[in-house]
Homo-oligomer: A and B are copies of this chain.
Amino acid sequence: MTIDPIERLVAELGRLPGIGERTATRLAFHIIRTSRARREGSLARDLAAALEAVAEHVGLCERCNNLSTDVRCRICNDSRRDTGLVCVVEAVQDLRAVEATESYKGLYHVLHGALAPLDGVGPDELRIEDLVRRVQEGSVREVILATNADVEGDATALYVAERVKPFVVKVTRLASGIPLGGELEYLDQATLGRALVERRAY
With a cutoff of 8 Å between Cβ atoms, the chain B residues found around residue A13 in the complex are 47, 50
A23 to B18, CA, bound (A): 10
Q: B50 contacts A55, CB within 8 Å?
A: no
Size band of the interface chain A makes with B = 35 or more
With a cutoff of 8 Å between Cβ atoms, the chain B residues found around residue A4 in the complex are 69
- Among B12, B42, B55, B93, the residue within 8 A (CB) of A29 is B93
Q: B51 contacts A36, CB within 8 Å?
A: no
A153 to B166, CA, bound (A): 72
Q: A50 contacts B8, CB within 8 Å?
A: yes
Q: Which of A44-67 contact B (CB under 8 A)?
A: 44-60, 67
With a cutoff of 8 Å between Cβ atoms, the chain B residues found around residue A35 in the complex are 54-55
Q: A50 contacts B17, CB within 8 Å?
A: no
A17 to B26, CA, bound (A): 9
Q: How many copies does the complex hold?
A: 2
Q: B36 contacts A44, CB within 8 Å?
A: no
In this complex, what residue of B is CB-closest to A15? B43
A21 to B195, CA, bound (A): 32
A13 to B49, CA, bound (A): 12
A36 to B13, CA, bound (A): 18
**Contacts A26-B17, A27-B17, A30-B16; A6 near B93 (Cβ below 8 A):** no
- Among B9, B17, B23, B29, the residue within 8 A (CB) of A30 is B17
**Contacts A17-B26, A25-B93, A30-B17; A8 near B53 (Cβ below 8 A):** yes
- Interface: A32 (CB within 8 A): yes
A interface residues (Cβ-Cβ under 8 A, vs B): 4-6, 8-9, 11-13, 15-18, 23, 25-32, 35-36, 38, 42-60, 67, 69, 91-93
